[in-house]
Amino acid sequence: SLACWQSVCTTKPLNDGPIEYNPATLQVADGLLFLGGRDVSSGPVVFIAKPAVRDSWTSVPITNSTAETVSALATTNDANPYVAVGFNDGRISVWSYDLAVRTNRISAEQATSLLRLLNHIRGELDVSDLSDSDCLWPHERFFSTVSVSSSPLRSQNYVSAPVEEPQCTSLSWIKPSSSGISTLPLLAASFSSGIAVYHVTTGVQNSSAPDVIPPLAQAKFLTYQEKSEIDEVTATTFINFRKPKATLTWYDLGPRSPPCVAMIFEHEQVSFGSDSITVLDRNPVHRLCLCAIDIPWYGSVDISDPETNQDHRAIGVLCQNDVNLAAPTILDSPTTGSIVCYTGENFLTCKPTLASSTSSRVKADGFFSSLSCPVSTSSLGLDSTGVVYFGGVNSVVNSNFRDTVLSVYPLISCNGQGENSESMRIPSQRYWLLMSNSGDSKMGVLPHDQRKEDSPEGGDEVIKTGAVTDILCELTCGENPVSGLVPGRVVTEQGGLRVAVLYSTGFFGGNIGFGGDGSERSRTHTRIPPAPVAYAIIDLDEAVKYRGSTPFTLRHGRDVAFLPPARTDDGFYCSSMVVLDPSGTSLSMTTAITSSTLPEGENEVVVESIGKCSLQYEGVEGRRVFALLNCNKPEILVAGYSELVGLPCLVICKHSIEKDINTNQLTLVEGTDQGHRLWLKAGEEVMALVELPRQNQSTRGHIAVATQQRVMILSMVGSISIIAEVEAFLTCTTLSPIGSHCVAFCASAGSCGGGITRIMYLSCLQDVGHHGIISTLPMPRHGKANSLLAAIRPDRLIYSNSQGGIRHASDDEDDSSFIVPLSKTRPVFLLEPLIANALCQDKWLGVNASKSSDVQTLLRTIIDKFGRKESSFPHGDNEGIGSLGAGVTMKVYDMLLHYGCKQAASLLLTGNLPGDITSQPTILPPWIPMSCKLSAANGADTALQVLSSGDIKLAEYLRNSDREPQSLPKPNDPSSILAKDLAINAVSDDNMCDAAKLLDFAGHQSSDSVLLQLPMSRSSNVEPILQRILAESGSSAQAIKSYAE
């Protein structure tokens, strides 16, 4: 209510007496308001109010503190009702406000018991003791920049900074995000000397004194040398330099990335004269930074070994930019997908990027956009008839993995984590390869997919189940502490038995505490990996056999693309792949050979080709490589960057793939000509590519390509050209084919990557039906994660929105067992995208759809399988739901009418073929406006069926007057008014038979006389008849409009 809102918003009670409060500390959590400040007589206090019961502010004294005031507050209203209180002396204490939540009305007598002390944090004392190896900017000087200048002295124009600046400037609890580490109560804090992250635990309940929490990770701002120079200048000039100040919040880069914080760092840029004493200039500088926390890989740090276990982890800067803003403040924005800053007048949204851009529009960088997307193989789709599509390769093996999707699942492992803070361990990162089955086939590979039932022939039979997921193998490379490899891409062999996992270096890979000469090195150094550097080949049969512990070997390479598998005459199974070298300058061939006749442990041999095919003729640096198999002969497509032009591009290489007649193996033959290419926009990176089904065997299939800015369908006939494109911000790097001219993808509704998630489609139609929405996915209840589109099936879609987890294991538990997230299944209606795809089959992208027999035949097939159905559950395999018109949309009718396919629209509308004389039951979808239905009506008989709203007896009576008479609508009924309007159009078109039927339906008193005059209207002027009908209609135009809408 308004009274409740006014009682909370007023701060008048806080202005009475010796009380001071800091408005910047305002926090809201669990229906409570928090403010930090101080009582002049007693010290730091926290003010609490409960607006739901119209409570005023209650002052809660903070005991056991020597500070003067509260300088920062942070609350979390998730599983733990914690409030972190930062003091001006740089210390922090953590309190529980659960009693305040349970208290109905807060009174002054209860003030001392509303907050319960949990932990102490040393804060500034922890950061100030760090060595120079933990400096965020070890080689950059902020304050004491000496310049020889003849400028006049201006130091008298500047006021010295206040002495009593708070040493704890900002606090932030981690927000629910895509990473499993967000379930831990992590607290980020900024001080005048640096920043730190703390893992807050509850400690021992029966302990007499609260625990002191050590930092999980920390870093400082200034080196010892620069700090000593500042102290020396301060002592010489007696000028108090402003201390550095930082405000921070958590930022989610994705489940595969370490936890990150976004920070605004404020400092003074000071210029001195030639005497190094006189101050010439003092300017405030604000720097926006994205910092990452160094979380170790599982197995790379031995917790029990003091030589490898460090007291804290490092924090490093990933990217930064000096912002020319007046006193910016960073805001918590966990759902926007960007960093939000407030300058007092405007809001500014920022996203990390590797390349600078002059465009004012927010554009996500390709590298950072890929970090937020889950890693998986290509999703499963459909062909043009709506049948499950497994790719255009005729496999030489009987693979059990055709309808499976492989994905990388990051897992945070907390071994020894318990209630006792002494058993706390540093979280470590693990990566697992998961296999998900879409439920299409009777598959016994996954243990959870083996339900059995009695078969008619006797015995047991494995039956189909829903979508299931299980562990395949671990991908963590943590044996070497300096390896720092992260799985960033998974490529599967189409119709085969192998998969390749590509690894990139981590942000902190290679950092160690000391160099080889014993000199201390910076632990905060970070590096952004531009591309993968290694790959591993995994045999799926072997991975299933040795579930969870499959060994693999890392090999150098930036990207790989599988070619069709082959089987030799002597029983060897060969998997050939094109490998892009780590530098992106050449291609080579690698072959993995398997034979069941080899002894155990020697089942696979990998042969790497010595010869390489250079990309210098193409003039590009390769970033991705793809093998195009939906053509008469495999071709190589390279996504690269031209240094000469300064733009990324797609190139069809002239290197050819030939098959050896004797060995039946594929080889790569170098070509020296330049291939066809397509130039992309500046800064675009190819995130996904999928081949669409071929329209027929004589044509070459299209491909769909996704970047961080758009989704495109490309034609590969003659040259590379864009047929269709739409701007989209993908949440995953999977594209699902829906026929030969349509593709589905998962995109975010927000321009910065935030907002709701939608499954969309893009077709090759140039007008109506170009793109649309298939389904809107529900938001997860807790946290946020980009949804992974695993498969699209005729009646359902399969996706997952859990892309990272955490495992708490005590010392006696198996930390390799964890809860696997299950794929979600939702019903889906695909009539609209399949109709759009069918209209493109005329080779002119819908222009001659009404005259193409191929289009009309495919439309009839699609409408029969995915259109209207009479019973509740009628659909079988490879059919859509279609119950009572489900899936029929206005855009479906608009597409069919726009491209001249009115007979197909009439069939979809009524269920009648042109020669049918029997009306169908009431199955017209009620959500389609009447005007849209009438526009699709083919003739008066169809229009009467629409006007009768599915009344079968009335419709048949109007079509055949010999039937039993039925009650007609009243003359003022909207359907009667519409019938008059249609009758006028029929008379104008000289169609007297249809006009008579429609006037009969109208039921006016003058209908009989009008009907008698119509047969004679061929030789007479019909204008008086039309005027008579219009005069009797009255206000029919408005009634028709309201009824049609």
Angle between helices 1036-1044 and 974-988 (to 10 degrees): 110
Residue 242 has pLDDT above 90, yes or no: no
In eight-state DSSP terms, residue 833 is: H
Question: CB–CB of 266/385 below 8 Å?
Answer: no
Band (362; pLDDT cuts 50, 70, 90): very low
Report DSSP letters for 364-416, one per residue: --HHHHHHHSPPB-PPBEE-TTS-EE--S---SS--S-TTEEEEEEEEEEEET
Confidence label for 1037 from pLDDT (cuts 50, 70 and 90): very low
pLDDT at 663 over 90: no
Query: What confidence score (pLDDT) does residue 423 get?
Result: 44
pLDDT grade for 243, boundaries at 50, 70 and 90 = confident
CA 515/CA 582 separation, integer angstroms = 26
Predicted local confidence at residue 518, as pLDDT:
40
Q: Give the model confidence (pLDDT) of 546-570 as tens digits.
A: 887 788 899 999 999 999 888 777 7
In DSSP terms, 85 is beta-bridged to: 73, 93
Higher local confidence (pLDDT), 423 or 840: 840
212 forms beta bridges with: 120
Residue 359 pLDDT > 50? no
User: What proportion of the chain, given as a percentage, has pLDDT over 70?
Assistant: 77
pLDDT tens column, 729-760: 888 989 999 999 999 999 987 655 567 899 99
Q: Which burial class, exposed, middle or buried, applies to 320 when counting CB atoms under 10 A from its CB (0-12, 13-18, 19+)?
A: middle
| Rounded CA separation 713/731 (Å) | 18
User: What average pLDDT score do residues 64-85 get?
Assistant: 87
Give the separation between CA 895 and CA 904, rounded to whole angstroms.
11
- pLDDT band for 448, please (50, 70, 90 cuts): very low
pLDDT at 1007 over 80: no
Q: At what angle do helices 890-898 and 831-838 cross, to 10 degrees?
A: 10
**Across 164-178, 403-417, 494-508, which has the greatest mean pLDDT?**
494-508
Residue in 960, 943, 1044 with CA at minimum distance from that of residue 998: 943
CB 560 within 8 A of CB 577: yes
Report the distance separating Cα 1024 and Cα 1020, nearest Å. 10
How far apart, in Å, are the Cα atoms of 279 and each of 157, 158, 235, 756? 10, 10, 13, 53
Bridge partner list, 27: 34
pLDDT band at 277 (very low <50, low <70, confident <90, very high): low
**416 confidence band (pLDDT: 50, 70, 90):** low
For residue 224, how far is the Cα from the chain centroid? 43
731 Cβ contact list (under 8 Å, min separation 6): 372, 373, 746, 747, 748, 753, 757, 786, 787, 788
Least trusted range by pLDDT, from 1-15, 601-615, 930-944: 1-15
- 3-state SS, residue 575: strand
Provide the pLDDT for residue 1020. Answer: 52
Least confident of 317-331, 332-346, 504-518: 504-518
681 or 913, higher pLDDT: 681
Residue 1030: per-residue pLDDT: 47
pLDDT at 463: 45
- Bigger pLDDT: 463 vs 480: 480
Quick one: pLDDT band at residue 358, thresholds 50, 70, 90?
Answer: very low
- pLDDT for 195: 96
- Taking residues 49-66, report their average pLDDT: 82
Pick the closest to residue 629 from 545, 568, 716 (CA basis).
Answer: 716
pLDDT tens-digit map of 167-214: 899 999 998 877 888 888 999 999 999 999 999 987 555 556 778 999
Output the average pLDDT for the chain. 80
> Residue 147: pLDDT above 70?
no
> Does residue 74 sit in helix, strand or coil?
strand
Strand 329-331 relative to strand 315-323: parallel, antiparallel, unpaired? Answer: unpaired
Mean pLDDT of 673-701: 87
52-61, 852-861, 923-932, range with the lowest pLDDT:
923-932
pLDDT at 919 over 70: no
Which whole number is the average pLDDT over 611-617? 87
